[in-house]
Amino acid sequence: MNRPDAADPTQREARLRAWLVAAQAGDARAYHRFLEALGALLRGFFRRRLARMPDEVEDLVQEALLAVHNQRHTYDAAQPLTPWVHAIARYKLVDMLRRHGRQALVTDPLDDEVEWLADPQPQAQEARRDLGRLLATLPDKQRLPIVHVKLEGLSVAETAQRTGLSESAVKIGVHRGLKALAARIRGSADEDR
């Protein structure tokens, strides 16, 4: 992150894009780098916009990362990355503010795409919402594939053996489970406050 060339937003965009394209093709290490760098950028983006709601920032970073993951197939490698990420971040920010009925609290205009790459914030705060607890509320056919494949790092085949599900059911369980998790976040945010 701190190499001199990394400070240039154009290069940052190019690197993020290359990682995401590699991830779409199945490169998990590139994907990890992508999500780490993106998390820092999202944190900077939300901190600036939520100066009066600082406690919401980390929850929103997590929610946006999950959204990017669940919709990662909608990124078209022929298009620039910044508008795509920006649109997702903005959508999640507006959605969260609407849930809270506090649209007026946005401290910055939302449509500035250019500067958002400029100010990464790698230092995570404490999240208020516990995704682990929400994960535990998913039905078994979604929760178990996520626990084995995504938390314990077992292969799809091993998970299928252990759970008695078919391999495609394991993959679908992970996919639907993470989408359901995003839906739980929206639902729990409605109830919480």
Q: Other C-beta atoms within 10 Å of 131: how many? A: 15
Q: Does 55 bind another protein (CB under 8 A)?
A: no
Using the contact rule CB under 8 A, the part of the chain among 2-10, 18-26, 48-56, 104-112 near another protein is 18-26
Query: Which is closer to another protein, CB of 50 or CB of 88?
Result: 88
Q: Which of 13, 15, 36, 184 binds another protein (CB under 8 A)?
A: 36
Q: Does 158 bind another protein (CB under 8 A)?
A: no
Query: Which is closer to another protein, CB of 132 or CB of 164?
Result: 132
Query: Which is closer to another protein, CB of 4 or CB of 71?
Result: 71
Token pair recorded at residue 17: 């894009």
Q: Which of 27, 105, 176, 189 binds another protein (CB under 8 A)?
A: 27
Residues 171 and 165 sit within 8 Å (Cβ to Cβ): no
DSSP state of 75: -
Q: Does 165 bind another protein (CB under 8 A)?
A: no
d(CA 88, CA 81): 11
Q: Does 86 bind another protein (CB under 8 A)?
A: yes
Helix locations, the chain, DSSP H = 9-24, 28-49, 57-70, 81-100, 131-136, 140-145, 156-163, 167-192
Query: Which is closer to another protein, CB of 27 or CB of 119?
Result: 27
Tell how far CA 100 is from the center of its chain. Answer: 20
The pattern of x and - marking residues 95 through 124 that bind another protein according to CB under 8 A reads x----------------------------x
d(CA 188, CA 193): 9
Helices 9-24 and 28-49 pack at an angle, to 10 degrees, of 130
Q: Does 17 bind another protein (CB under 8 A)?
A: no
CA angle 4, 124, 77 (to 5 degrees): 60
Binding residues for another protein, per CB under 8 A? Answer: 23-29, 31-32, 35-36, 39, 58, 61-62, 65-67, 69-77, 79, 82-88, 90-91, 95, 124, 127, 130-132, 135, 146, 149-151, 153, 155-156, 171, 174, 178-179, 182, 186
